[in-house]
Structure formats: structure tokens, C-alpha cells
Amino acid sequence: MGFLRFGLKSCVQYRQLHLLRNQAYINGQWVKAGSNVVFPVQNPADDCVIAEVPDMDASDAKNAIQAAANTFETWKNTTAKERSHILRRWFNLCEKNTDELAKIITAESGKPLNEARGEVAYGNSFLEWFADTARHINGEIIPSPWPNKQILLTRQPLGVVSVITPWNFPFAMITRKVGALMAAGCTCVIKPSEDTPLSALAAAELAEQAGVPTGIINVITTSRKNAPSVGKVMCEDHSVRCISFTGSTQVGKTLYGLAANGVKRVALELGGNAPFIVFPSADIEHALDQAMLAKFRNNGQACIGANRFLIHEDIYDKFVKGFKSRIAQKCILGPGTKEGVTCGPLINTQQANKVSGLVEDAISKGAKALVGGKFAAELGSKYYESTLLINVKQSMSIFTEEIFGPVATCLKISSEDEALKIANSTRSGLAAYVFTKDLGQAFRMSNKLEFGMVAINDGIISAAEPAFGGIKESGIGREGSRHGAEEYTDLKYTLMSCLDK
């Protein structure tokens, strides 16, 4: 087996996955890297190699951008109705192949199969939404201040979009962008994470089967080593008009800087540090159920995952007791393919060590783990126990940094003002959660929380219909809603004069 050259285990069961592709996709062709180099994609549950894929470099990226640029010349002239129908066909095929897509997502990301199916449904909802939205990307006619003249504002597609996506939602983070940009009339080059290129390739395979014209979607796979050089080309090539990135704030800032050279549009969905605030009037049992979803979905590896639990002192003990028993009972660790498992492994060793390091640091400074607080080493090297920390202080790294793992940190608050002050004391501004039955308080919190998205009495906030995105260092731009498609358009002003003659 080829995988032996990496000194890794290969697994035969993956051969049954009919959407598994081991080549990149450029201009409608399944291709190798120009260098012929490959890298292995491993299952984080057991380190088995699922496939090896091309390790593309800057010259491969240029080829893909050229293909997208050539295709843009025809795609931009298609009607909204045509684009809508093509997106609808892609949606239908993805829906039909939900189980196959989910198996690939679970294999490469480690998340439980049920959650992977949920990701496919979520990711697909964007294809369906943008199939509809394509026909409603409207312009405006504005009464002019001059006689015999009219002001027209029309929306035109930007051009080639460089799409760079993370490993935590390897399918949905692609459809959320590509559905929108295709609806707008753009073409793209996608660079998925080294950890999860197979979901992206499977999505491209289904796009091909759905009849998405050649060159609109191009997928280049790269190892982490090549990501900076490939990313540079994707940000700086003159044919690229927009960089649409989802990932860490640190990498987002680098790409923002590179895009500045060419004054390119950026759409940045970056990291979060979500507060989860519970006031005494809240339905505590409901808040606890939602806390489990907001914290432990995808094993805590979600940008909108609740990071800081700010619990009012009147209900603190009750909340912590309920949280502890729910975590102990409901977080079942294991491989994502095993029935009943709710929390899989963390994505890679670096991520696992980061989570463990943050917990150790907090404990060394006085925090206490009521449940969890260590690796589940008997399961493998990337499994970390679902953890609840109390006695957490605002100065601890676990409180100021995005944990991106299965660790909940609790802090006691005594007033609304204090909750707001602590919640807003971060450079991130993605999502916030508030639990209260006091309507005035709900509106005040929504108004004063410095976050792009606020959920009142709910732990799940994402859908295709609302505008998803952050403020402050959590990003620029919105995904989903009609705004998501408009991100990929330029507003053109045409003055129509001499209308009377």
C-alpha cells in the first residue's frame, strides 16, 4: 500500500466510500499536483490513513485561478434563473447522498455520524437557500435630483473568489460560501484544510454530477507546509477579486494583509469567544439543555461554541450542579462511527495539546475541574474528557482565548452590568447567548452585547436564513441571508441621461 511510505496504517473500509476522491479538481479535470507529491489524510479517531491527496503548490494554485478566471467570462453572463437551477440540482444530489457525505465527514473530522448528517443538512440548506436567492439579487432605481435623468444601481458579480476553509465543518463551510458566490455569478478556487480535504472533493464530485459547468468550482488540496505559499497566490493573483476565508483570527489577519496589496474584497469569518449568560429569571433546565448544545456540539470545536459561562450568583450552584451531571451522563466519548457516541476525538495533536495546556494552566492558577480535566488516553491520543471548570478567573488564558475544545468554564456574576462588562471584555465579537425571561433585559442585552449575533434563550443560532458573522476581530462580512450573496457583488451606478430626447 502507498500509505506505508508515510509509516502509517491504511484501512480497507474506506474503499467502500463511493464519493471518496484522491485527486484535486481543476477545470473539470481530476488532477495530480504538478510536483506529483501527495500527503495522507488521517482519521483522528485511530490515525488510519483514509486516502492520500495531491500536495499542491503555488503553480497549481495559479492554474486553478486561471481556470476560474476563464470560466467567469461565460458564467457571469448566465441568467439568475439558470444559476438557480444549477444550484438546485447540486442541492438535490447532496441531499440524496447525505449518508455518504456524512461518512466522509466523520472519517476525516472525527465527529459523530449523527452530527455529520446534521452538518450535511446544514451545509445543504445554503445550497437550497442560494438557489432561491440567486433570483432575488436585485438592483435599485433611485429618483434622481436632476430632470430627465435616472439613477440605476445594479449588482454585478465580483469575479474569481479564493475560498479558504477550516476543518471543523468541512462541508458546510464550503457550501455557505460557494452557494452564495455562484448565485451571484462568481467562480472560485477552494483550498480546504490539510486535515479535511475529502469532504471538499466529495462536494466537487457531486457538483460535477449535478452539471455545474467546468471551471466554476476548482478544489486544490495542500499540506499545511504549502498553505502559506498557496494562500499568498490565492490572495495576490490579479485575477482574484475576493478572498473568502473562514478560520482563525491569526491567519485571517495575514490574509487580510495580503489582500490589501490588490485592494481586494475580503469576507472573513474568524474566531470567537462566546459568553453564555444566565440570569435568575431564566428557565434553568432549558438553559442547561441549551448549554450542552452550545458547548459540546462538535466536541467544542465550533467558532460560535460557548466559551465563557457567566452565571448569576442566585442560581450559580444550581446551574453548576445540573451542568456537571449532564456532562457526566450525556458526553459519551469514542469514535464517531460508534453508536451512542456524542463526542469524538479532537482534530489533531496540536489542537488536543492546546486544549490540555489551557486546562492545566487554569488548574495551576486555582481553577477546579468538577468533571473531566484530562485526556481519555485509553481511547487514543486525541480524546479529551468533556470538562467543567469552576473557580475560573478572568485573567486566565482559558477565559481570554478561544478554547475550541470540550471545556466549559464557569464564572459567578452578580449583576447585568457586570455580565455585560465581562462579556464584552474580549477582542472577539462573534456570538453571545443570554438566558432570561425579562423582556426588557433581553432587549438591553441584545443591544449592548458587542457581538455580531445574539441568541436569547437558545443555544443554536446558525441557519441559512439569518446573516451569520462577527464584529471586532471576529470578522468582516456576512454569510447566509440575502446579504451573503451580495458580499460577492459590486454595486454599479449607471446614470441614464437625456431621457426625453
Among 303, 306, 390, 423, binds ligand NAP (CB under 6 A): 303
Provide the minimum distance between the beta carbon of 470 and ligand NAP in the complex, in angstroms, as a whole number.
6
For the record, the C-alpha cell of 345 comes out as 476525538
Cα(316)–Cα(300) distance, rounded to whole angstroms? 22
Q: Which is nearer to ligand NAP, 288 or 343 (CB)?
A: 343
**425 exposure class (CB count in 10 Å sphere: 0-12, 13-18, 19+):** middle
Cα(250)–Cα(463) distance, rounded to whole angstroms? 26
Handedness of CA 319, 324, 330, 332 (dihedral sign): positive
Cα(424)–Cα(147) distance, rounded to whole angstroms? 50
Contact pattern for ligand NAP over residues 156 through 195, marking x by CB under 6 A: --------xxxxx----x-----------------xxxxx
Q: Which is nearer to ligand NAP, 58 or 151 (CB)?
A: 58
Check binding of 402 to ligand NAP (CB under 6 A). yes
Cα(243)–Cα(252) distance, rounded to whole angstroms? 10
Residues 370-376: contacts with CB within 8 Å, 24+ apart? 370/320, 370/324, 371/324, 371/327, 371/328, 372/327, 372/406, 372/407, 376/333
What are the residues facing 41 on neighbouring strands?
Answer: 51
For 491, residues 6+ apart whose C-beta sits below 8 A from its C-beta are 153, 154, 155
Residue 11 catalytic?
A: no
Check: CB of residue 223 under 8 Å from CB of residue 55: yes
Residue 269 catalytic?
A: yes
Check binding of 430 to ligand NAP (CB under 6 A). yes
Binding-site size for ligand NAP (CB under 6 A) equals 30
Contact pattern for ligand NAP over residues 195 through 214, marking x by CB under 6 A: x-------------------
Check binding of 272 to ligand NAP (CB under 6 A). yes
Among 247, 344, 406, 459, binds ligand NAP (CB under 6 A): 247
Residue nearest to ligand NAP (CB): 231
Q: Which is nearer to ligand NAP, 123 or 192 (CB)?
A: 192
Check binding of 228 to ligand NAP (CB under 6 A). yes
Q: Which of 269, 473, 479, 487 is catalytic?
A: 269
DSSP 3-state of 148: coil
For the record, the C-alpha cell of 447 comes out as 443591544
Among 70, 144, 154, 254, binds ligand NAP (CB under 6 A): 254
Provide the minimum distance between the beta carbon of 419 and ligand NAP in the complex, in angstroms, as a whole number.
22
Among 58, 227, 284, 456, binds ligand NAP (CB under 6 A): 227
Contact positions vs ligand NAP (CB under 6 A): 164-168, 173, 191-195, 224, 227-228, 231, 246-248, 251, 254, 269-272, 303, 402, 404, 430, 470, 475
**Active-site annotation, residues:** 269, 303
